[in-house]
Structure 1
Amino acid sequence: MNFITDHILKNPPVLLGLIAMIGLIVQRKPFAEIVKGTVTAAFGMVILTAGVNMLVGTIAPINTAVQTQLGVEVAEGLSDVTFTAEYGGTVGLAMFLGLIIHLLIARFTPVKTIFLTGHMLWWFPFVLVAGGVEAGLRGTPLIILSAVLSAVYWSFMPWIMRKYVWDATGDDSFLIGHPTVVLSLISGFVAKMIGNKEKSTEDLKIPESLSFFREISITGGLVMFIMNLVVGFIAPVLVPEGGNLVMFSIEAALNFGAGLLIMLYGVRLLINQIIPAFQGIAEKVVPGAKPAFDVPILFNYRPNAVIIGFIAAMITSTILVVLVNSFNLFGILIVPLVITSFFECGGAAVIGEGQGGLRGAIVGTMVASIAMVALVGFSAVMFSTTIQNWILIFGGNDLSLWGMVGKWIGSLFGGF
């Protein structure tokens, strides 16, 4: 079981390569096609992951610099490493049991979701176990609660968001399996109320001399260049000793733009291979099932919306972070949510665009980013003895929400 958990379920390229292989075998494809499809699907996931890692590697120093400037320190026992050291086995068991329940839900209920975002198969039981620990649960009750809630999330949340995803992509062959759901639902709802589908982010009229802004890699790089300049000016620790702020910002911008290009190429490669192969499994094992993929899959459909949403989320959430810290609303320091602003709010912007065009993408994402700050604040306070510093960086999304749900439900059984 440890081998399956550590080397397959937590290894997205291997997991998706195996899924592609099984799907092609079930369809009785020729041997050469099976090998090509299997390896290409794995390549697609490796490329996508490499792109995402480049993006996170560019964003992470900004978080670290702001934390250092604010005097926020990662205390022992409040990070993912220290928590996993003590509860990693519990998380692994909850993940394994949760996956069995998830597949049973897909097989025997009308909710036909198969969650394929490998790292989120780990992170949801991780935050749910942390929530259960905060509620006083230990042992078997903690494993069962975390497993059941993980399975419910993996099955139902992508399904709930499906129509928004299909409206944004024009493609009903897949779902989104990522903690952007609550923010995307908020964005989509607001966008539908106040947006205008006829004015799309992808139809922005840009002068010929500025046509390069249509390239998401260039636009994203410019945004990161400006962001690094601003943060570096406020928090000089961003730049390594002896470095130059302008050159550091240029390098970060180039890495971010290249990361976007690599990620989007991986997305296209993965979709082209895994969707047809997955249909073979769905036909035989879970008829009518839809695969739920990581949120970067959305970025390929409305790239302008991603950058616009990122900017809207960063501006809105940073203003709110300054305000809540000034008034000490949560009793702890909140740091700007750069990673969540890009990935989760980028997805929310695509959903908002699908419901309300340019206006929907902007306003929907701004409202979602307000919820993002509230979620990270409340959840960070709740995780006061487990993963507080981890959630301050990666929260403000479904992970925060479900962690709080886990603690609330766990508190009902805290005596066991």
Structure 2
Amino acid sequence: MNGILNLFVSIVQSPAMLVGLLAVLGLILQKKKATEVIQGGIKTFVGFLVLTGGAGILSNALTPFAKMFKFALHVQGVVPSNEAVVAIALVKYGSVTALIMLVGMIVNILLARFTKFKYIFLTGQAMLYVSCLAAVILVSAGMGSGWQTILLGGLFEGTLLTVTPALCQPFMRKITGGDTVAMGHTGNIGYAIAGWCGRLFGNSKHSTEDIEFPKALGFLRDSTVSITLLMGIVYIVLAIVAGPHFVETKLSAGTNYIIYAFIQAGTFAAGFAVVLQGVRLILAEIVPAFQGIAMKLVPNSKPALDVPIIFPYAPNAVLLGFFVSFLVGTISMFIMVGMHTTVIIPGVVGHFFCGAAAAIYGNAFGGRRGAVIGSAVNGLLISWLPLYILPVLGDLKMAASTFADTDYLIPGILLGKLGSFGSVALTCGIIGFTVAVILVSALMKSSKQAENK
């Protein structure tokens, strides 16, 4: 039993393996030739490895950025990091988390099959983290680690991961120019809010991607060149503020601090280029393969994929969103210092990925202004909400880290507040959430039928 559970957890923890197997299943269901099945499965598998490798390069390039920032400003506090907080929690809640994840996947597939929300969530690490969040809050609320916790946690996770891509899909259609893929990330609630704010307060006539460069600066249209130069300026300024002694003794192993800073900027640009290549590989294979699953198992379903999938559609918005979100996080940090609350130090990785996506969503219907507003609003959410989730995470020693994205923070806070009223309230709340989603789906079907009459 432990061996099977370990195999399952290992597959789900590897998005490349999970999505590669789903591509194989889709192609088999379409009765493709064995050679096409093998080719599609391998290219999808490798595409995800390219994508995650690029994301890893980006994250590694942002690590010294965060260290220089923290040293230059002399601040201590809580750094939101999903990876760090889950690593702590899994020591105590590993088995419960894995079983919640299994139930959550089944609930997601069932809801996609029988409701109007046709989204199969395929971002494995996000599924694991949501499972862990559910386990921590349910056990901390006194539910124990038995079958009730596993079923309720899976019901909560499966419902959440089915409905949040639906919130984002109107914007995904605009961003991608189609309706074949969905957003499968744990910042979906924030991205949808960013998109709505962009639509309300933005101006769609002026897209971030329409920024005109003078002819002499036309070379900046190449994203690799522009990202390297822009990030180079940012890294070098931060390295100068942190000082050569800190950079050369703590980060660069003796390499000149200016050279080191520019190399990190180039590494960041390289990571971005790798991400774009991975996205192209995945989209070329997973969408056609997924049609097999849609036709046979879950009709009209869409794969919900990780956040970098939208970066190629608005590279200017990616950089704009990062800088706006990180600036909002930095200003919020200083306000917290003044208020003498727990200080949430802006997590560079979180502000990059979530800020970039929020700007792309804001830009979809609101142009440049929408991108700025959307990323600023999302930046406020991921800067201040961590203060409110800390009290509901039980007695785990998580003082140095906490969850980072809106889809952990908002549902987690609500779930924790319910838990404070006891296990009955928590049980009713989770079941009520799933029932509400099913009722909304039924109402959507009824209204569509009425329109057709």
Fold shared by both chains (TM-score > 0.5): yes
Distance 2:61 2:328 in 1: 21
Residue in 2 aligned with 1:44? 47
Task: For residue 323 of structure 2, give the secondary structure of its aligned residue in structure 1.
Answer: helix
Equivalent of 1:379, from 389, 410, 414?
389
Rate the CA distance shift 1:79–1:112 in 2: closer, same or farther, 3 A.
closer
TM-superposed CA distance for 1:194, in Å, is: 1.6
Q: Does 1:98 align with 2:104?
A: yes
Residue correspondence of structure 1 range 10-159 to structure 2 within 5 A: 10-67=13-70, 69-72=74-77, 79-140=85-146, 141-159=148-166
The question of whether the paired residues in 2 share the 8 Å contact of 1:51 and 1:261 is answered with yes
Rate the CA distance shift 1:385–1:244 in 2: closer, same or farther, 3 A.
farther
Residue in 2 aligned with 1:280? 292
Deviates more, 1:197-206 or 1:234-243: 234-243
Q: Which amino acid aligns with 1:354?
A: A
Q: Does 1:194 align with 2:216?
A: no
CA shift digits 1:27-47 (9 cap, x unpaired): 111221111111111110010
Equivalent of 1:7, from 5, 10, 30?
10
Distance 1:338 1:310 in 2: 9
Q: Which amino acid aligns with 1:101?
A: V
Residue in 1 aligned with 2:315? 303
Q: Percent identity?
A: 30
CA shift digits 1:213-262 (9 cap, x unpaired): 32333333334333333443454545525343212211111110000000
Q: Which amino acid aligns with 1:403?
A: G
CA shift digits 1:156-185 (9 cap, x unpaired): 000121111111221111110101212212
The question of whether the paired residues in 2 share the 8 Å contact of 1:128 and 1:146 is answered with yes
Q: Which amino acid aligns with 1:411?
A: S
Q: Which amino acid aligns with 1:350?
A: I
Deviates more, 1:243-252 or 1:176-185: 243-252
TM-superposed CA distance for 1:64, in Å, is: 4.2
Normalising to structure 1: TM-score of the pair? Answer: 0.92
Task: For residue 21 of structure 2, give the secondary structure of its aligned residue in structure 1.
Answer: helix
Q: Which amino acid aligns with 1:162?
A: Q
Distance 1:222 1:381 in 2: 42
RMSD (Å) for aligned C-alpha atoms: 2.3
CA shift digits 1:55-113 (9 cap, x unpaired): 11111333345556424489xxx843332111111110110111111111111222111
Residue correspondence of structure 1 range 152-231 to structure 2 within 5 A: 152-231=159-238
Q: Does 1:291 align with 2:291?
A: no
The question of whether the paired residues in 2 share the 8 Å contact of 1:80 and 1:387 is answered with no
Residue in 2 aligned with 1:403? 412
The question of whether the paired residues in 1 share the 8 Å contact of 2:307 and 2:357 is answered with yes
The question of whether the paired residues in 2 share the 8 Å contact of 1:128 and 1:407 is answered with no
Rate the CA distance shift 1:190–1:58 in 2: closer, same or farther, 3 A.
same
Distance 1:380 1:213 in 2: 43
Normalising to structure 2: TM-score of the pair? Answer: 0.84
**Structure 1: 5+ residue stretches without partners:** none
Q: Which amino acid aligns with 2:127?
A: L
- Higher-Rg member (1/2): 2
Deviates more, 1:369-378 or 1:37-46: 369-378
Distance 2:393 2:222 in 1: 40
Deviates more, 1:362-371 or 1:207-216: 207-216
Deviates more, 1:114-123 or 1:64-73: 64-73
Residue in 2 aligned with 1:260? 272
Distance 1:381 1:101 in 2: 29
Rate the CA distance shift 1:166–1:281 in 2: closer, same or farther, 3 A.
same
Rate the CA distance shift 1:18–1:389 in 2: closer, same or farther, 3 A.
farther
Distance 1:411 1:184 in 2: 29
Q: Does 1:249 align with 2:258?
A: no
The question of whether the paired residues in 1 share the 8 Å contact of 2:236 and 2:262 is answered with no
The question of whether the paired residues in 2 share the 8 Å contact of 1:79 and 1:387 is answered with no
The question of whether the paired residues in 2 share the 8 Å contact of 1:174 and 1:292 is answered with yes
